[in-house]
């Protein structure tokens, strides 16, 4: 199919600033989408739980999506860095894989004595219909542990559905621990501690005098997660993955939530002030004002050093959720960089509405794009840099333009005020690298 054909057929999920586009739907069957599958969505959310065992019930290929490409950090256990799979083969597919799964759980329990195991059902398990719930119930009785089924066959929806399945798994885990007295403090939902970002946010809250009850799920442990129903407020950092869990926790445990973003200078300041205000804590509000003012002053000075190098450059953004795209556009605006293409895998209509207001009218806005669309629009709009994840990196390099990893592989933190410094330096060194002068690609 020609590139033009692809664009024409999918025109309703491509728009311009100030227009509306179709989003939050399943990918077109057979299309090569940049979007990850249901299982991957579920794994994004649950994998950072550091002392849990994650057993992938399916062929070995699905298990390749593991810690190695989702580098969340831990302050304790590193069990989550291992990959466990039932490695289903032809025989299991014909006769069923439930027995093999039981044996895998027994082996893990015998060797490692875990408190918590997640079992991910992948495509083939959805097809052969193993009763994973029954296996989990039996394992819980036999071993006296929590063994939670995550229904995530890749074909059962899109990445957002995987987030929902992970949220249900978390609820199943924490529900029996609700009803305890409330504690003064917040849960952080939707930060996965990439390059230690959860620790940055936690430190800011410590400076403001706000305790963190539970981290969902960056650097989380079984014992800390089950405290979550006792918190006073939920902070939702990754709205795309965690809004359904936050809604459910509000309904079941009476915990209100606010959406925050610690990416970019403006959003970090706004979020810290909103957290303090939402708690109605006058002392925290005063501390937040003083802290943010001091941080902003230093950071603006730092940004001014780089402005001459960056002003007038053009950026393309393709990330997982809408909240991150919005923060990135705002940060680029403060750096004097224009966003000319922006897209997400799981953005919601309200995200695209905000995006439309932040960009110029001729900015290309994409939902669930494929590689051909991204390449076409980056070339058409003359982007100097692409901000994306592991699947977007080769597209940028193929076109001979700079790239910034804002996904799970990155090794330096991009959250908070520290993150803005790292981000500015990375954008500067990548966009202004002399290597681009030697490229022979015709843009």
Q: Please, which of residues 103-122 interact with ligand SF4 by CB under 6 A? A: 122
Calpha distance 266→353 (Å, rounded): 19
Q: Which is nearer to ligand SF4, 39 or 192 (CB)?
A: 39
Q: How many residues does the chain have?
A: 443
CB of 58 to ligand SF4, least distance (A): 6
Q: Which is nearer to ligand SF4, 153 or 356 (CB)?
A: 153
Q: Does residue 154 interact with ligand SF4 by CB under 6 A? A: yes
Q: Does residue 44 interact with ligand SF4 by CB under 6 A? A: no
Q: Which is nearer to ligand SF4, 37 or 198 (CB)?
A: 37
Which single residue brings its beta carbon nearest to ligand SF4?
154
- Any idea of the CA torsion for 227, 233, 239, 242, to the nearest 10 degrees? 20
Q: Which is nearer to ligand SF4, 55 or 123 (CB)?
A: 123
CB of 161 to ligand SF4, least distance (A): 12
CB of 87 to ligand SF4, least distance (A): 13
CB of 29 to ligand SF4, least distance (A): 13
Write the secondary structure of the chain as one string of H (helix), E (strand) and C (coil). CCHHHHHHHCHHHEEECCCCCCCCCCCCCCCCCCCCCHHHHHHHHHCCECCCEEEEECCHHHHHCCHHHCCECCCCCCHHHCCEECCCCHHHHHHCCHHHHHHHHHHHHHHHCCCEEEEEECHHHHHHCCCHHHHHHHHHHHHCCEEEEEECCHHHCCHHHHHHHHHHHHHHHHHHHCCCCCCCCEEEEEECCECCHHHHHHHHHHHCCCCEEEEEECCECHHHHCCHHHCCEEEECCHHHHHHHHHHHHHHHCCCEEECCCCCHHHHHHHHHHHHHHCCCHHHHHHHHHHHHHHHHHHHHHHHHHHHHHCCCEEEEEECCHHHHHHHHHHHHHHCCEEEEEEECCCCHHHHHHHHHHCCCCCEEEECCCHHHHHHHHHHHCCCEEEECCCCHHHHHHHCCEEEECCCCCCCCCCHHHHHHHHHHHHHHHHCCHHHHHCCCCC
Contact residue for ligand SF4 among 14, 104, 116, 123 (CB under 6 A): 123
Q: Does residue 220 interact with ligand SF4 by CB under 6 A? A: no
Q: Does residue 37 interact with ligand SF4 by CB under 6 A? A: yes
CB of 240 to ligand SF4, least distance (A): 18
CB of 33 to ligand SF4, least distance (A): 11
Q: Which is nearer to ligand SF4, 122 or 202 (CB)?
A: 122
CB of 324 to ligand SF4, least distance (A): 22
CB of 39 to ligand SF4, least distance (A): 4
Strands 14-16 and 364-367, how do they pair? antiparallel
Q: Please, which of residues 258-297 interact with ligand SF4 by CB under 6 A? A: none
Residue 368: CB partners within 8 Å, gap ≥ 6? 13, 23, 25, 27, 33, 34, 35, 158, 343, 345
Q: Does residue 39 interact with ligand SF4 by CB under 6 A? A: yes
Q: Which is nearer to ligand SF4, 58 or 320 (CB)?
A: 58
Q: Does residue 149 interact with ligand SF4 by CB under 6 A? A: no
Q: Which is nearer to ligand SF4, 58 or 388 (CB)?
A: 58
Q: Which is nearer to ligand SF4, 152 or 202 (CB)?
A: 152
CB of 254 to ligand SF4, least distance (A): 35
Q: Which is nearer to ligand SF4, 156 or 309 (CB)?
A: 156
Q: Does residue 85 interact with ligand SF4 by CB under 6 A? A: no
Q: Does residue 98 interact with ligand SF4 by CB under 6 A? A: no
Q: If 0-12 CB within 10 Å is exposed, 13-18 middle and 19+ buried, where does residue 392 land?
A: buried
Contact residue for ligand SF4 among 62, 208, 213, 420 (CB under 6 A): 62
CB of 387 to ligand SF4, least distance (A): 25
CB of 128 to ligand SF4, least distance (A): 13
Positions touching ligand SF4 (CB under 6 A) are 37, 39, 58, 62, 122-123, 153-154
């Amino acid at each position: 199919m020609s590139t033009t054909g692809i664009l024409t057929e999918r025109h309703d999920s491509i728009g311009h600033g100030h227009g509306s586009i179709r989003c939050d739907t399943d990918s077109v069957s057979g299309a090569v989408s940049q979007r990850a599958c249901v299982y991957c969505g579920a794994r994004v959310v649950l994998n950072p739980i550091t002392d849990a065992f994650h057993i992938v019930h399916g062929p070995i290929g699905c298990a390749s999506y593991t810690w190695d490409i989702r580098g969340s950090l831990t302050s304790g256990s590193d069990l989550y860095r291992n990959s466990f799979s039932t490695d289903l083969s032809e025989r299991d597919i014909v006769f069923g894989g439930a027995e093999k799964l039981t044996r895998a759980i027994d082996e893990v329990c015998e060797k490692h004595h875990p408190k918590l195991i997640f079992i991910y059902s992948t495509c083939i398990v959805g097809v052969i219909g193993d009763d994973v719930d029954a296996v989990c119930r039996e394992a819980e009785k036999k071993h006296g542990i929590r063994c939670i089924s995550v229904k995530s066959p890749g074909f059962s929806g899109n990445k957002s559905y995987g987030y929902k399945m992970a949220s249900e798994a978390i609820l199943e885990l924490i529900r029996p621990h609700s009803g305890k007295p409330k504690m003064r403090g917040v849960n952080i939902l939707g930060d996965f501690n990439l390059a230690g970002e959860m620790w940055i946010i936690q430190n800011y809250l410590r400076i403001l005098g706000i305790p963190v009850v539970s981290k969902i799920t960056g650097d989380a442990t079984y014992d800390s997660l089950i405290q979550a129903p006792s918190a006073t407020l939920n902070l939702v950092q990754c709205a795309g993955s965690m809004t359904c869990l936050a809604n459910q926790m509000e309904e079941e445990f009476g915990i209100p939530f606010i959406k925050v973003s610690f990416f970019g200078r403006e959003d970090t300041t706004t979020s810290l002030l909103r957290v303090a205000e939402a708690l109605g804590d006058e002392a925290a509000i005063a501390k937040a004002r003083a802290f943010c003012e001091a941080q902003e002053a230093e950071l603006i000075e730092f940004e001014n050093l780089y402005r001459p190098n960056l002003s007038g450059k053009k950026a393309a953004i393709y990330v997982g959720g809408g909240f991150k795209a919005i923060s990135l556009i705002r940060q680029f605006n403060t750096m004097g960089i224009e966003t000319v293409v922006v897209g997400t895998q799981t953005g919601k209509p309200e995200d695209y509405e905000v995006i439309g207001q932040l960009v110029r009218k001729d900015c290309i806005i994409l939902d669930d794009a494929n590689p051909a669309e991204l390449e076409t629009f980056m070339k058409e709009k003359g982007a100097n840099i692409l901000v994306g994840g592991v699947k977007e990196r080769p597209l940028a390099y193929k076109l001979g333009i700079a790239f910034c990893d804002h996904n799970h592989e990155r090794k330096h933190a991009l959250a908070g005020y520290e993150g803005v410094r790292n981000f500015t330096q990375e954008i500067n060194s990548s966009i202004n690298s002399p290597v681009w002068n030697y490229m022979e690609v015709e843009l």
